[in-house]
Each structure stands twice: as structure tokens, then as C-alpha cells.
Structure 1
């Protein structure tokens, strides 16, 4: 693929959102399911933009991500869990290949960036209930010609969320270090609260910091105006004013009753799993990128609510019920978490107005369905006192037609056919196993048995 400056990519990015969204809907997973970093353009999103200029060349250089930048998803828990070292950029290859893991100094298009406070904007093709986003950058002295590993990355910011939908928080302010220059990789991780997965976005940047700054020994200012902004019988919500620092505040340490319980890059925090009708003492401490710590904030005493003698308040209704994907015989549902003055106990799932499942999770896979059939779903929350919420939105979903004969078929650009690694297909009286997940857009040279085709092997 020919070399591109980021100016080329920037020009492509101003194409209509409808055009780009329409193109990406043909990705290896359902386009409405996920999200990607739009600005500065992530490695995956850059490939999708370049594919508008030259599809074949972009596919060769960026692989499956060109039609599915929102699908770089694997298990969460980074850096202690999540993708394996060497496969961080591709999310363990769950997108269908490991192309995004290729790593050399001049392999990828880079975003020019100056250290200090920078904004990162996500594009959510469908929002999800979210616990946090966390950002990492390659350390000083990392080797850009070696595979990306945990040991090469350091945390530069965390944006906590209240488990509401992600579209309420699309842009994050992250303080990028000023003590390094040249090529670096920033890793943005989006943790979904009601699944075991997270989305991973590698962002290639060219840091343009002037010289090496003097050693930073100045501590941030003391955190002020710490206050309680809300409470339930089991949680307390806090907020405070932003501290200032000569090089920027990296994070805030939260202390409850004298012991640190968490850190956050924002100026809000919700402490959960507390005891009802109980007072707690909180203090906050600001920390900058050099590790300098502010004085402790003044202590705030906050209290959880008492469990009412008679609870008659119903939970909020489950929000944004949607499908994470359909097959010929299943629908994978997900919805936003309900809140309650005491506690939500369960969710009741209805199909065609008949209850089919009660669960304490915010997701459910309905199986044993008929192919090419429309089903209507809604969800109702119940609290520990038996109060029921209003109904969620009603969702109409149609299962896929399926291909019971598993016959290989030729797709088209407007109606591509997905072939998933591990599937068995038949063609010209032979059976083949799919070895690489891919979409067929009408290219007969990708048929099983075609000369030079490595997408299938004879079973």
C-alpha cells in the first residue's frame, strides 16, 4: 500500500458520516454493536478511511478492520487480563485476523500530537452501559519495531462512568506526557459494564514536544469543594473541583475512612456496595505525571440512606434494549441498568408479551428460535421489595434466514456474506473449513478451492 500522510486520512474523514457508516455496516460483526476512536483516528478507523480511496490496498494493509473498526473487542481487565502480549492492537484477533498487531517504526499512519491535555472522541455505533475508559501510552525508550506488550505501556488516564450508556460521554480529556517525543502508541480501552468484554483501540501518534522538560517537583494544588452529590442505601456519589498543576494532573486518589479505595481521572466518583444508614469519611488527593501528590482535601462525612420501612418506589425502567446479534435460531439481547432507591433484584425478559426469563444480569441470549422470524422483546426491572418498573422500549428483531445446507455462496458489495473461522461449507461437492473470518463481497477468486485462496482448507 502506498504511503499516506495523516493529511490524506484527514481529508477522507470529512466524507459524510452517512457514507462512512453505510460502508462499515458490512463489517465482520454487526455494525450497531460497538465503537471506535474517531479523533485522533485509531489504527482501525484509519484503515476504514483509506479503504474509501483504495479498498484492495487498504484490506491488504489493515485487514478485517477496514469494514469493522468498531469490532476490536475481547475480554476486559487490562492490563491484568485482556488480550495477550503481541495481540493487543487486534484484540486477540477476534476481529478476524492479527494484521493490526504488525509493528514497525514506519508501518502505520500517525497523528501529529503535542503533549499536555488532548481530547479523544469515540464513535459509538451503539452505546453500551459503561464502567470506565482507560488510556495508556508507550513508555520512554520503547522499541517501535517490536510487538506491543503490557510492559511497554503505562497508564495516563482513566475516565470513570456510572454504568449509564456510553453516548453520554463521547469525548475525554487526557493529559498526554510531555517528557517524550517521536512515535508512540496510545491504547484506549472501553470497558462495558454488563459483559466480560472491552473494546481496544490503538492510536499511532507522532509526539511533538520541544526538548526535554526540566524535572517536575511541583505538587498539584489541594483538592477543594469535595461534596456529596447523591446517595442510595448502598452507594454515595461525590464530586470536587479540579486541581491545578504546572504539568497537568494525572489522577485523583479516593480515600474512604483513611484507606485508598480507588483512583480516577475525573472529578466525580460513586462508591458502591456500602452499608445502609452508615456514615463514611472521604478525602481526595491529586497526583501529577511525575508522581507529585497534593495535600489531602478536607474530610467530607457522607451517609448512605436508610432502608425504608415500606418501599413503594419502583425502579427506573431498563433503557436502550437492543440486539447484539442474531442467528437463524437465536437473539442476543442487552439493555441498560435500572436504578432504585434500595436495590434492583432482577430483570424479567418478555418475548411477544410472554415472560421467558428472569435474570440478575443486563443481557440474555434467547435460543431455540425459528429462522427468518420476527420477535418482539421488552424487559421489566424488579426491586427487592417486589416493585416493578415500567417496560423498557419494545424491540422487534428478525432472525436470519440461515444456510442449512452450508453451501458456499457468492456475496455482493451491498449484501456481503460472512464466513466465520471454524465454519464448515460445501462447494463443488467438497467440504471446506473456514480458517480466516472474512466477508465475501462478490469476489469469485475467494471461493473454496480457488487458486491461491488460503481462506478455506479441505475438511
Structure 2
């Protein structure tokens, strides 16, 4: 009866480093991992998601998100899919892109409540500056609505909302007038 040799657990690369990082991509280089049988192959993951199974370095990730830390891990595996422990590094990508402009800004005349659709930013954290005119900020919030009180009924307001991410990038200011100007049309009979 023939015995099957038991293979040892593969060994990950001892050197796994990034190079050439920009806001849109990062490349990686590593030394050889060790396997008991066959040629070492590699698995690279970002935040737990499989990116690629390169056979040799280098590897370039062209789709990281700005304003976030990404955890990159490499494992060695053999031709029978035995995997090593991972070797990991964390990389921060600066945020250079402003959030999208808030949209669908509106208010409820009964309570003078402003509301808007959330802005998108790659960091997933957006603040909103609510103002009653350029330079007259009333509040900073992460909510997409705010109730305004103590308004003068005889005054006209130009409320605005600007989205801001953690890096200080600002969207354009979206504004709405209160009270709403109604234009009446008279027809001759």
C-alpha cells in the first residue's frame, strides 16, 4: 500500500511592501514564499476581498478608495491549495475628491424643515454645513435634515447646504429660498 506524503503548511513571503502609491493605485512587491510541492503561488486580498492570484511580483491595485485605510494581505499556496498564514500591511489613501453636491434640497413650510439627499464621498463620512446665507453657518450635521426655528416671518432667507468630508474637501453650495416665491399668471378673459 502506497503512502501519501503529508505536505507542510506553506510559508508566506517574509517581505511584503507597497511602492509607487498614488491616490488612484498602489503596487506591491514581495519575496518568495515556500511550499513543499510545486511552484509557490500567491493570493492578494484587500479588506478580505480577493484581488488577484499573481504568480510573481509585482501586483498593482488600481481601484482603492480615497479617504480610507485598506488592509492588504498576501498568502502563499501550493498546487493542492494549502495556504500559509497571511502577511498584511495597512495603507491609507488620501482623499482629494470633494463629496457630490447635496441634491433635492427642500423644506416643509409648517415646520421650516430642510431636508436633502445624502452626498457620496469615498471616505463614507460626510458632514453638512447648513447656512442662512453665504458665510452665515447655522449648524454642522451628519444628518440629511434640520429643523429651523426662530425665523422672522417678514424676512426672506436663502438657506444653503454644503457637503464636507473629513479631509476638508467641500462640495458646491446648494441653496433654496424661503418663503418660496410664487409667480401668479393672470389671463384675460
Q: Which structure is higher in helix share?
A: 1
Give the TM-score normalised by structure 1: 0.20
Give the TM-score normalised by structure 2: 0.46
- Structure possessing the higher relative contact order (Cα contacts under 8 Å, 6 or more residues apart): 2
Greater Rg, structure 1 or structure 2?
A: 2
